Amino acid sequence: MAKTIIRVDDRLIHGQISVAWAQTLSTKEIIAIDDVTASNKMLQTIMLAGVSKAYNPKIITFEEAYEYLKKEIDGNRLVIVRSCENLEKLVDTVTNLSRIYIGNIQKTPHSKYNLSSGGGAVLYFADSDVEIIDRLVARGIDVVLQMVPSSGLRTWEQAKKQINK
């Protein structure tokens, strides 16, 4: 059965997605969901330029995503959003959710916790991000932190130990 994997990565579609993640996850479809990028044809062209058409890549708005993600596909689907806030908008829409990977979250004025772990990892969380992920984990959703498939994977429970120090 096909799975849907969600990744939080504020860069959306980039080299690691199209080269490493798509292959590792046996992805048949890559979908970035972002209202700003979906409304800017130049940004879309730049972001999709290096992605193989074999992955049927697309960038859509959240409104489009609510309908689109109900469609079944023959293979795994990788959905990418920019922030943890966007997870709650999607989680109930996604069918066959396998896992949520937290990949890259830049520091913002609201960031309070730095969970970056070397190797280029950039992971800054605000209290609201922690609350959102806690709610998802409490619902039984598997949430992990991992930059690239070859790097170490941390469960949310492991990452929370850094926050609770």
Domain with 57, as residue range(s), is 4-163
Above 80 in pLDDT, residue 38?
A: yes
Q: What is the domain-level CATH number for residue 92?
A: 3.40.35.10
| Average pLDDT value over all residues in the chain | 90
Residue with tokens 């799975």: 3
Residue with more model confidence, 60 or 147: 60
| Total number of domains constituting the chain | 1
Residue with more model confidence, 18 or 65: 65
> CA-to-CA distance for 92 and 27, rounded, in angstroms?
21
| Selection from 113, 110, 102, 93 nearest residue 142 by Cα | 102
- Confidence band for 163, pLDDT divided at 50, 70 and 90: confident
Reduced to 3 states (helix: H, G, I; strand: E, B; else coil), residue 80 is strand
> CA-to-CA distance for 122 and 106, rounded, in angstroms?
6
| Selection from 46, 25, 47 nearest residue 101 by Cα | 25
pLDDT in tens, 48-103: 988 999 999 999 999 999 999 988 888 999 999 999 998 888 888 887 888 999 98
Predicted TM-score (pTM) of this structure: 0.92
CB 39: neighbour CB atoms within 10 A?
A: 11
- Taking residues 125-150, what's their average pLDDT? 94
Percent of the chain with pLDDT over 90: 59
Which helix or strand (DSSP H or E) is residue 37 part of?
helix 35-38
> CA-to-CA distance for 24 and 20, rounded, in angstroms?
6
For position 165, what pLDDT does the model report? 56
| Selection from 5, 89, 103, 92 nearest residue 55 by Cα | 5
User: Residue 31 in contact with residue 58, Cβ under 8 Å?
Assistant: yes
For position 120, what pLDDT does the model report? 65
- Confidence band for 36, pLDDT divided at 50, 70 and 90: very high
pLDDT in tens, 114-137: 888 765 678 899 999 999 999 999
